């Protein structure tokens, strides 16, 4: 089973390193669970009950992290094509999120915001440059 391949610490580390918000996780898992289906921004927004702007921001973040693929064209679409090892990890993440919704949500919410990370990174870059 996937749970045996990736334990709780691997799942938690993935969530801490790669997932900024619960909508990011929900979008990732929706695309992963529905593969090979492709999703438009509007379709994902409706499914996640968020605005199209919020959905687009989440999808763009996931593309930047190389968790999903964006396909440009007349209508930009998104889908999930994980590598085999990442596929096993996502199965564990999905299973953990289903079983431990509150714990996973709290873990994600306990992280500093992206703005705090960017602020801290600016200071690290300045110190390294000095």
* Contact between residue 39 and residue 32 where contact means Cβ atoms under 8 Å apart: no
* Contact between residue 49 and residue 86 where contact means Cβ atoms under 8 Å apart: no
Give the chain's end-to-end CA distance (angstroms, integer). 49
Q: What is the pTM of this model?
A: 0.78
**Where does the pLDDT of residue 8 fall: very low under 50, low under 70, confident under 90, or very high at 90 and above?**
confident
**Where does the pLDDT of residue 30 fall: very low under 50, low under 70, confident under 90, or very high at 90 and above?**
very high
Residue tagged 């199209």 (tokens): 52
**Domain segments of the chain as ranges:** 2-129
Residue-wise pLDDT tens digits, 93-107 = 999 999 999 999 999
Q: 40: how many CB neighbours lie within 10 A of its CB?
A: 16
Fold of 2-129: Arc Repressor Mutant, subunit A (1.10.10)
Q: 3: how many CB neighbours lie within 10 A of its CB?
A: 14
């Amino acid at each position: 089973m996937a749970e045996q391949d990736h334990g709780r610490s691997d799942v938690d580390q993935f969530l801490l390193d790669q997932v900024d918000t619960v909508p990011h996780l929900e979008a990732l898992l929706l695309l992963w669970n529905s593969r090979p289906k492709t999703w438009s921004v509007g379709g994902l927004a409706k499914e996640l009950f968020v605005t199209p702007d919020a959905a687009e921001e989440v999808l763009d973040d996931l593309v930047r992290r190389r968790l999903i693929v964006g396909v440009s064209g007349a209508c930009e679409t998104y889908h999930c094509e994980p590598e085999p090892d990442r596929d096993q990890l996502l199965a564990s993440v999905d299973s953990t999120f289903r079983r431990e919704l509150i714990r996973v949500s709290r873990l994600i919410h306990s992280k500093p915001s992206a703005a705090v990370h960017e602020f801290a990174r600016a200071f690290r870059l300045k110190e390294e440059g000095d």
